[in-house]
Amino acid sequence: MSTSLNLPVLKARRRHVVVLPGHRFFVRSVPVEGGADAAASREEIELALESMSPFPLSQLYWGYWTKPDCKRALVYGAYRRRFAAEELEDWGDAEWVAPRLGAMLAERSPSPATVWILAGSGEVTALYFGDDSGVPTLVRSTPLAEEADEAALALARESLIKQCGDCRSVVDVESLEIDAGTPGDNELVVRRDSSTTRLSLDQAQMLDVRDPAELVARRRARVRDTWMWRIWLVSLLLILLAGLGEGAVFATDLWQKGRLERIGLQTPLVSEIETADRLANRIEELKTKRLRPFEMIAMVDGPRPETIVFLRTAATGLYSLEIEAVTDSPNDINVYISELTDLAGTESVEMLNLDSRGSQSTMRLLVVFGPDAFDMGLMGEVES
């Protein structure tokens, strides 16, 4: 006994197009001002269609075809009630809904006085190009009965060619196939006999007979989907980079561990060298320089007025002495500092603090001596 999990699978929607029979539309070739502005062209065509149609535009499924700077547009429309509700079911998610003849219009302009005969799907359609504008000047369609034979087809063909008038060239379209492409493609592929034409979705939208608001919404959805696709790609790229970064972090971490291990191994030896260096310096200092606190005290005691009493002295470096003293005669402080400053061997005298309470003042002085203030031959002592 086997069990299987019926997990939902995300399947891509297939794109499809809805091709309508041409004979259900009235088709006219109308003159237009032309120009590069697509919105202006559309308004012009709407006006032309309104003037020729017995129904308001809102009651029509209509589309058109023109080319940039062309003075002519092919307009087609059909009364909405001619399409049953079940026929409209597929339209909602179709990429393109247009009469069959629309697929032919993106082709390269034929020479003037050429008729394209498009047979099949229960109808025969003639597209007559009276000039080289690339927009048919006349389009005629006739339906064919399902049981129509070759003779009936030939008869209908001849009739349509005659309706077109002056024809110098007749092109019979043997096969016409419209490939909707895959989701995300920006074009439809039209295969006629052995030739292939690409119809961009923007061009296809002119030919589309659906409601203009719906077409605008579809265009917005396409733009939105394009941006979503770009963000999707950026996200995937970010994930790829994060994956590469993860690998790099892992490799760096391994490398770093090796180096930290090396540091750990070297640290005792380096500490030993550092200590040796520090102690060598210290011994050198011990040999050549000596802290001489009593000499310093003797020097600063020389000019001391009787009123100043030392409370604390501290040798804060080889050549500096901090003095904390008290006096009942604050005027003597300045005299004493002045005397110290003038003293041979002192580099600087700095008052760190002065605190007066009543007649008693407590001060802190920092006296810095020059290196040769205590001129004594230390090396001579070492040697002796």
Partner 1 sequence: MRAWFMGRLAREKALLLLFVGVVALVWASNVWERGDGLWGAARQTSTDLQVQEQWLLKKDEIEARARAAIEDLDSSRTFNSVRLSAELSTLAREAKIDSNLRSEAQPSQRTAQFSVNSVRLTLNKVTWSSLLEFYDALSLRAPYISIEQFTLRSARSDSDELSASLLVSSVEIASSP
Residue ranges binding partner 1 (CB under 8 A): 10-15, 182-185, 221, 224-225, 228-229, 231-232, 235-236, 238-239, 241-242, 245-246, 248-249, 252-253, 255-256, 259-260, 262-263, 266-267, 269-270, 272-280, 282-284, 286-287, 290-291, 293-294, 297, 309-315, 326, 378, 381-383
Helix (H, G, I), strand (E, B) or coil at 195: strand
Q: Which is nearer to partner 1, 57 or 228 (CB)?
A: 228
Q: Which is nearer to partner 1, 162 or 312 (CB)?
A: 312
CB of 329 to partner 1, least distance (A): 16
CB of 375 to partner 1, least distance (A): 15
Q: Which is nearer to partner 1, 47 or 354 (CB)?
A: 354
Q: Hey, what amino acid is at 118?
A: L
Q: Which is nearer to partner 1, 152 or 248 (CB)?
A: 248
CB of 4 to partner 1, least distance (A): 24
Helix (H, G, I), strand (E, B) or coil at 170: strand
d(CA 247, CA 252): 8
CB of 163 to partner 1, least distance (A): 43
CB of 229 to partner 1, least distance (A): 6
Q: Which is nearer to partner 1, 226 or 348 (CB)?
A: 226
Q: What's the token pair of residue 357?
A: 């309470």
Phi/psi at 229 (nearest 5 deg)? -65, -40
In sequence order, what are the residues at sequence separation of 6 or more whose Cβ sits closer than 8 angstroms to the Cβ of residue 325?
308, 309, 310, 311, 362, 363, 365
d(CA 82, CA 60): 10
d(CA 166, CA 168): 7
CB of 297 to partner 1, least distance (A): 7
User: Rounded to whole angstroms, what are the CA distances from 71 to 22, 74, 127, 137, 312?
Assistant: 23, 11, 18, 11, 111
Q: Which is nearer to partner 1, 297 or 337 (CB)?
A: 297
